Chains A and B, each alone.
Chain A
Amino acid sequence: MRYYFRISKDICFKSFSLISALLTFGILALGLWLIVLKGFSAVSFDFISSSMSQGGLSGGILYQIIGTFILIFTVLLIVSPLSVGIALLRSFYLKNDKSRKIFTTFLYVINGIPSIIFGIFGFFLFVKFFGWGKSWLTGGILLSMMILPTVSLSLSEGISRIPKDYIESAKSLGLSSSAVIFSVVLPQSFSSFISGLLLGLARAAGETAPLLFTATIFSGADIPGGIKESPILSLPYHIFTLAQESYQPQALENAWGSVFVLILIVVFFSALALPFRLKSHEEANV
């Protein structure tokens, strides 16, 4: 009796977890299938190589793509040095556990801030207080701050995983601590850095909320002419605007096309991160 009770509990447990997993992957598969189905037919060479016209009802998304890449590139430039500095402080310089914990909490706090709050703060500080108006630079700065914890923590974990002997033997050879950093620490944690960076960039590429009031407009911009006063177009904002007009078939068609391209960009970055993640796991098991 007891035996059958135990076995049926076990079977229920297994079925429940299997069904949950199937449901999750089913929803995912359905979503991706819809995107590919609807998006693929909407994308053509013309669509990605011409600029928008008729308020998004026709034309393409060339400048939205360019705008998204400008933002990604800006984020790359800002985040790389900042995250290296932060990760070094956390994993290399800070001495005791307590200060490291406080520093980690500080990163978690930034990581937890809802994106729309970055948007409102950016609107207040850059758009109004500094008087930049909508600017691609503001967008880059805000997105950088948002993904900074992801990148820093990934690199920092990588640094913590470097065997102590490496660093100690480098020091014993008389290298200064800066030299140790550039010859041992950073090269040894490179894959962790890249995998964190790529995942962060994938996230930045798809963000809309922080850019709403600070960086992006729907139409009337191409390649930004100025450093700080030029607004920009971007794919997520384009989709966001078209989504609100999705009762018009042409708007919808173009929204699907843009989604398809955006997903390709995001998946490209995430997929690029995979081998680096595998590598950093291998490094962990040296």
Chain B
Amino acid sequence: MAIYRLDRFFKDKELSGTMVFSILFSAFVFLFLAALIFFLFIEGFPALKREGLQFFTEANWFFRISEYKAASMIYGTFMVSLIAIFIAAPIGFGASVFISEYLSGSPRFFAKSIIELLAGIPSVVYGLLGILFLQPFLYKNFDLNSGDTLLTAGVLLSIMILPTIITLSDDAFRSVSSEERETSLSLGLTKEETFFSTVFPKALPGFIVAILLATGRALGETIAVFLVVGRADNRLPNSLFDLDPVFKAGQTLTSKLGGSEIFIAYGNPEHWSSIVALGLFLFVFVMGCVLIGDLILIYRDKSRI
């Protein structure tokens, strides 16, 4: 009976050894993912239940006196990613336009390979460069009390997510055929008019997905942020428009999770659960970006046909 239903999902009607392995391996990976998600929810949930809404609204994390309120880390994560996207989106847009619309042939291939190389540089290397060059640079030029700030982390992140934005948007722009470009040019439109009337409308979903995935990457980046963010707990702005904490040391979800507090936390169920809850949040935010991006692509491909 089970074998009979195989052909509802699979092209092959009979099981073969290769197919069994293929399914088993995939099931194993699926199990790993399921276990990871299960872990985040089961271990993180008690903290949410215990702390309630205050977990997000109050900045009060002192594990020695069993206070676990995470608002400042959530704030830090959002500000840092916001700064990064704010800087990287326009520059990434411009650079990918240059690569896809003004370069062709081997210069284009060369530029793309370099950008992809840049994407492969480990975050710890960015972190070290951040400590040694970006941090003193911002310290001097922005009149800060210390060079380790949310701003520093945001600027460093913007450099790190640039390659992601550029490669993905270039792919999106390039998916518009050269016939469409040439037809538009042949009618006497400028490159700019051609871009905005033929390329961009078609590539817009792809560009949005590029920004979303880059945001996901910024939200989840740990090592580089850890090294330059200052890791000062419990700072929140006084009002919505108070940008002061951005220019001071701060803490993000990832910089908290990357610290050695993990080892202390494990022995204490309350503490551990609060730590995992931070991870759960991070996971939910990042998955939000990834899944919305995926939906946009699915919807786009559907409406194209």
- Asked if chains A and B come from one complex, the reply is yes
Binding site for B on A (CB under 8 A): 6-7, 9-10, 12-14, 16-21, 23-25, 27-28, 31, 34-35, 81-82, 84-86, 88-89, 92-96, 99, 101, 103-106, 108-121, 123-125, 128, 145, 148, 176-178, 181-182, 199, 202-203, 205-209, 212-213, 236, 239-240, 243-244, 246, 252, 255-256, 259, 262-263, 266-267, 270, 274
Give 10 A-B pairs besides A89-B22, A92-B22, A119-B257 with Cβ atoms closer than 8 angstroms. Answer: A9-B193, A14-B191, A20-B97, A23-B91, A34-B129, A85-B26, A86-B29, A105-B291, A114-B219, A178-B19
- Report how many A-B pairs have Cβ atoms within 8 Å: 252
Some 25 contacts from A to B, beta carbons below 8 A apart, are: A14-B102, A17-B102, A21-B99, A25-B114, A81-B25, A82-B25, A89-B26, A93-B11, A93-B19, A94-B9, A95-B7, A106-B30, A109-B287, A112-B213, A113-B36, A114-B282, A117-B257, A117-B279, A119-B258, A124-B43, A124-B276, A209-B223, A236-B223, A240-B227, A270-B116
Closest to A114 in B: B220
Measured between beta carbons, the chain A residues less than 8 angstroms from B191 are 10, 13-14
Least Cβ–Cβ distance between B251 and chain A, in angstroms: 14
* CA gap between A263 and B115 in the complex, in Å: 15
Residues of chain B at interface, number, CB under 8 A:
91
Does any Cβ of A come within 8 Å of B98's Cβ?
Answer: yes
Chain B, 163-217, CB within 8 A of any chain A CB: 166, 190-193, 195, 213, 216
B128 touches A243 (CB 8 A): yes
A34 touches B133 (CB 8 A): yes
* CA gap between A86 and B9 in the complex, in Å: 15
Measured between beta carbons, the chain A residues less than 8 angstroms from B129 are 31, 34-35
Does any Cβ of A come within 8 Å of B162's Cβ?
Answer: yes
Given A10-B191, A10-B193, A82-B29, A206-B122 contact (CB < 8 Å): yes
A120 touches B95 (CB 8 A): no
Does any Cβ of A come within 8 Å of B296's Cβ?
Answer: no
B94 touches A17 (CB 8 A): yes
B266 touches A95 (CB 8 A): no
Does any Cβ of A come within 8 Å of B290's Cβ?
Answer: yes
B25 touches A113 (CB 8 A): no
A239 touches B102 (CB 8 A): no
Nearest 7 interchain pairs by C-beta: A206-B122, A20-B94, A114-B220, A85-B25, A112-B290, A13-B192, A21-B98
Choice from A18, A116, A274 contacting B254 with Cβ under 8 Å: A116
Measured between beta carbons, the chain A residues less than 8 angstroms from B122 are 205-208, 236, 262, 266
A123 touches B124 (CB 8 A): no
- The interface residues of chain A, by DSSP majority, are classed as helix
Given A177-B19, A206-B120, A266-B121, A24-B166 contact (CB < 8 Å): yes
Given A21-B94, A177-B18, A112-B125 contact (CB < 8 Å): no
Binding site for A on B (CB under 8 A): 7-12, 16-19, 21-26, 28-30, 32-33, 35-36, 39-40, 43, 90-95, 97-99, 101-102, 111, 113-118, 120-125, 127-129, 131-133, 159, 162, 166, 190-193, 195, 213, 216, 219-223, 227, 254, 257-258, 262-263, 266, 275-276, 279, 282-283, 286-287, 289-291, 293-294, 298
Least Cβ–Cβ distance between A23 and chain B, in angstroms: 6
Least Cβ–Cβ distance between B78 and chain A, in angstroms: 15
B220 touches A177 (CB 8 A): no
Closest to A209 in B: B222
| Most chain B CB within a 10 A radius of its CB, from A28, A123, A243 | A243
A114 touches B286 (CB 8 A): yes
Choice from A18, A35, A93, A113 contacting B12 with Cβ under 8 Å: A93
Least Cβ–Cβ distance between A268 and chain B, in angstroms: 11
Least Cβ–Cβ distance between B136 and chain A, in angstroms: 11
B101 touches A17 (CB 8 A): yes
B128 touches A246 (CB 8 A): yes
| Most chain A CB within a 10 A radius of its CB, from B35, B216, B219, B258 | B258
A121 touches B39 (CB 8 A): yes
Least Cβ–Cβ distance between B155 and chain A, in angstroms: 11
A27 touches B159 (CB 8 A): yes
* CA gap between A239 and B131 in the complex, in Å: 12
* CA gap between A27 and B156 in the complex, in Å: 11
Measured between beta carbons, the chain A residues less than 8 angstroms from B26 are 85-86, 89, 103
